[in-house]
Amino acid sequence: MKKRVIFLNHGMTIYASMCGIAGAAGKDSEASVQRMLEAIKHRGPDGTSMFSLGDITMGNVLLKITGDRSQPIHNSGALTYNGEIYNFREIAKKRNLRTDSDSEVLFDMIDSIGIEAVLGEVDGDYAFAFASDGIIQLARDPAGVKPLYYGKSEELFAFASEKKALSAIGITEISSLKPGHLLTYCDGRLIEKKVTGFVRRERITDENLASDALFNAIEQGVKKRIYSPCTIAFSGGLDSSLIAALCPEAELYSVGMAGSHDIIQTKKAALLLGMENKLHLQELTVDDVVTALPDVIRAIESAKPQKVSIAMPLFFASKNAHDDGHRVMLSGQGADELFAGYKRYESLGPDELENALFCDLDNIAKNNLERDDAASMANAVELRVPYLDREVVELALSIAPELKIKNGIRKHILRLAARKSLPDELAFKEKKATQYSSGIYSAIEKLARKNGFKGEHAAGRYLESIKESL
């Protein structure tokens, strides 16, 4: 059977922590993967490599974070991997492996115990593909922090970290692998099943017990994800302020239209945290928005006004962090879905609230995480989400809904936990939706009118016109 390793960045050492993966099985798979990697090269500026095994080709573009093992890793099988396994050192010690590469540990585990058993042991955010004996298996973490898409044509099965990579080789029907699922491709057939997820533990109704346990879990979730030097996507609200308090060495990156709520709030919050010298604040002009719209729409592959206006602050924050030499950014994503942060939750009874939160968590990858990953990785910055740490999520699922909204206060239990590190002015700060608090949604609406789009859905039609011109 033919085996070929191709390093497209000749002479460069390849490192672990992949941030863009792609692969294909079928006719001319090598050429197809090369085109896919070119489409997502922004995800990994440190190198590109491929490995072919028969008619299967695997590849990646690399953003060096940790480790020094080249990828795709291959022996009798081949692995290409995007993400971070936070307990890989403990696993390596248990397995008597001497390595600083989470991908090497992952490969060794798959080779010896199989993917399903592996997913029960690893703690992390990941999307990976493993090929062996003509079979490709794709896996994604339980929350869906790392994206993975796949599709088929008459002659090819392919997968990649972004939809645009599949579009680049003519695949039009593209699916997103569901969080916690394993997809197996063999002889033209696809089998997808859920293999890992979050466990609902014993109910916690005691407020003090819940807030203490929650603070400790979030603190550990942040510690796992800290990378030096580290940055935070900072809005000055409860979620990002708590992360900042737990990671005081981080640099804070904030973005908003001049005079917007976020500009005022981030300055105030940074001052209250004693981190005003860490704040990197960009006040956007209308011209900045106009210039960035094509890049943001291209990155997230959507022209929906709400998605674009939420993605744009993160796009600018990660771009500024990248320009300052940073590669990792922490985000407060997930806190609203776990602790009832949205206004629409207020009218729900306890059972309805619990069901709504579980449903929103189940859909957070499709609704939020894939957009955020695309926005930050457009600038080669890896986004990490402490609130979606397995321990935090499972603890949150066990906390009684009556503790999440209490006396009309949303995220009540998270606010109590946050008081251990935050002043009350921040712990009890009312939430404002990002697209409105940044002023960007309003700016897009004004631009739509200025460009002759009127009536209902004017902003959407304006953004769609930009998308069509790309």
Residue-wise pLDDT tens digits, 3-21 = 544 433 333 333 345 589 9
Domain boundary among 194, 228, 262: 194
Please indicate, yes or no, whether residues 185 and 279 belong to a single structural domain of this protein: no
Does residue 71 have a pLDDT over 80?
no
Q: Active-site residues: which are they?
A: 19
Query: pLDDT value at position 387?
Result: 98
Does residue 191 have a pLDDT over 60?
yes
Query: pLDDT value at position 10?
Result: 31
Q: What's the mean pLDDT in 74-89?
A: 92
Residue 365 is given by DSSP the state I
459 lies in some domain: no
Q: Which helix (H) or strand (E) holds 231?
A: strand 231-233
Please indicate, yes or no, whether residues 234 and 142 belong to a single structural domain of this protein: no
Does residue 410 have a pLDDT over 90?
yes
329 lies in some domain: yes
385 lies in some domain: yes
Q: What is the CA radius of gyration of the chain?
A: 22
Residue 397, both tokens: 């699922």
Please indicate, yes or no, whether residues 218 and 183 belong to a single structural domain of this protein: no
Query: pLDDT value at position 46?
Result: 81
What CATH number should be reported for the domain holding residue 418?
3.40.50.620
Please indicate, yes or no, whether residues 220 and 152 belong to a single structural domain of this protein: no
440-450 and 305-323 helices, crossing angle to 10° = 110
More confidently predicted of 76 and 404: 404
- In the block, which residue shows the tokens 């992360």? 243
151 lies in some domain: yes
286-300 and 305-323 helices, crossing angle to 10° = 100
Please indicate, yes or no, whether residues 245 and 387 belong to a single structural domain of this protein: yes
- 104: Cβ contacts below 8 Å, ≥ 6 apart: 16, 67, 69, 73, 97
* CA angle centred on 208, ends 202 and 209, rounded to 5°: 30
Query: What is the share, in percent, of the chain residues with pLDDT greater than 70?
Result: 94
Query: pLDDT value at position 320?
Result: 98
Please indicate, yes or no, whether residues 404 and 257 belong to a single structural domain of this protein: yes
464 lies in some domain: no
Residues spanned by the domain of 354:
207-450
Does residue 429 have a pLDDT over 90?
no
468 lies in some domain: no
What CATH number should be reported for the domain holding residue 39?
3.60.20.10
Q: What share of the chain is helix, strand, coil (3-state, %, to 5)?
A: 45, 20, 35
DSSP string, 281-336: EEEE-HHHHHHHHHHHHHHHT---HHHHHHHHHHHHHHHHHHHTT--EEE--TTHH
Residue 7, both tokens: 């390093």
Contact present, 129 and 137 (Cβ < 8 Å): yes
Residue 143 is given by DSSP the state S
Positive or negative: CA dihedral 114, 117, 118, 124: positive
Domains in the chain, number = 2
Does residue 67 have a pLDDT over 80?
no
Does residue 336 have a pLDDT over 80?
yes
Query: pLDDT value at position 99?
Result: 86
More confidently predicted of 432 and 65: 432
pLDDT band for position 203 (cuts 50, 70, 90): very high
Whole-number mean pLDDT of the chain? 92
pLDDT 10s digits, 148-190: 999 999 899 999 999 999 999 999 999 999 999 999 999 999 9
Q: Report how far residue 297's alpha carbon sits from residue 312's, in angstroms, rounded to the nearest whole number.
A: 9
pLDDT 10s digits, 101-155: 888 999 999 999 999 999 999 999 999 999 999 999 999 999 999 999 999 998 9
Please indicate, yes or no, whether residues 136 and 244 belong to a single structural domain of this protein: no
Query: pLDDT value at position 69?
Result: 54
Please indicate, yes or no, whether residues 155 and 232 belong to a single structural domain of this protein: no
234 lies in some domain: yes
Please indicate, yes or no, whether residues 124 and 215 belong to a single structural domain of this protein: no
pLDDT band for position 66 (cuts 50, 70, 90): low
Domain boundary among 138, 168, 194: 194
Please indicate, yes or no, whether residues 302 and 187 belong to a single structural domain of this protein: no
Query: pLDDT value at position 430?
Result: 81
Please indicate, yes or no, whether residues 211 and 190 belong to a single structural domain of this protein: no
Please indicate, yes or no, whether residues 28 and 177 belong to a single structural domain of this protein: yes
Residue 94, both tokens: 């248990």
461 lies in some domain: no
Q: Report how far residue 422's alpha carbon sits from residue 390's, in angstroms, rounded to the nearest whole number.
A: 23
pLDDT band for position 234 (cuts 50, 70, 90): very high
